[in-house]
Chains A and B, each alone.
Chain A
Amino acid sequence: NAGVTQTPKFQVLKTGQSMTLQCAQDMNHNSMYWYRQDPGMGLRLIYYSASEGTTDKGEVPNGYNVSRLNKREFSLRLESAAPSQTSVYFCASSDQQGYEQYFGPGTRLTVT
């Protein structure tokens, strides 16, 4: 049981480049989430998917898009990266919306 996995672990982008962060869970959870974590700002929700086929905006969705590919996979896309998107990105999943969430190891993204 791998839990929540994320790829890549590290990424450096130039301003304006695009990329997709991948997330998969093997716990048969219904809900999945994308957060960013910045020093002094804590964890902030970008987007979430309450169930397969649905997605909703969180606290800081601007500049991001998501896709719930199937029950296991939830991707986060940066269409045109900006230095303000330099952060650590975490994916999480839960059995039901709002219940305890289980986090992946994170992706450290630097935009220059």
Chain B
Amino acid sequence: EDQVTQSPEALRLQEGESSSLNCSYTVSGLRGLFWYRQDPGKGPEFLFTLYSAGEEKEKERLKATLTKKESFLHITAPKPEDSATYLCAVRNNAGNMLTFGGGTRLMVKP
């Protein structure tokens, strides 16, 4: 059974204070690791897909990296508008569905 664990559950940062969110996974043949951002009262918004260890993707202040056991979402010099819940999900080699982690709630104070 695929499993995804995200840590920490919640993270408070000051504006400009860089940090990283962790997504640990066990999956039978990784066929994609996905990062989403979810704002309160809204649906998840797709950010990145990573397929193989060593791969990195960047978008504005966010950079996602992947190893064989975990993924990190690095946030550089965050702003208050980066406050949201960040979700991680994996797709296995059966390809039928995504398994989501519980998310990390990020709060960036001005």
Contact = CB atoms under 8 A, between A and B. Distances in A.
A98 B97 contact: yes
24 contacts: A33-B97, A41-B102, A42-B101, A42-B102, A43-B44, A45-B97, A45-B98, A50-B96, A56-B96, A58-B97, A90-B43, A97-B95, A98-B95, A98-B97, A99-B49, A100-B34, A100-B49, A101-B34, A101-B46, A101-B98, A102-B46, A103-B44, A105-B43, A106-B41
Contacts of A56: 96
Interface string A77-100: 000000000000010100001111
Interface of A: 4, 33, 40-45, 48, 50, 56, 58-59, 90, 92, 97-106
Interface of B: 31-32, 34, 36, 41-46, 49, 87, 89, 91, 95-98, 100-103
Contacts of A58: 97
B43 A97 contact: no
Given A100-B49, A101-B34, 16 more contacts: A42-B100, A43-B87, A43-B100, A45-B98, A90-B44, A92-B43, A97-B95, A98-B32, A98-B96, A98-B97, A99-B32, A100-B46, A103-B36, A103-B44, A105-B42, A106-B42
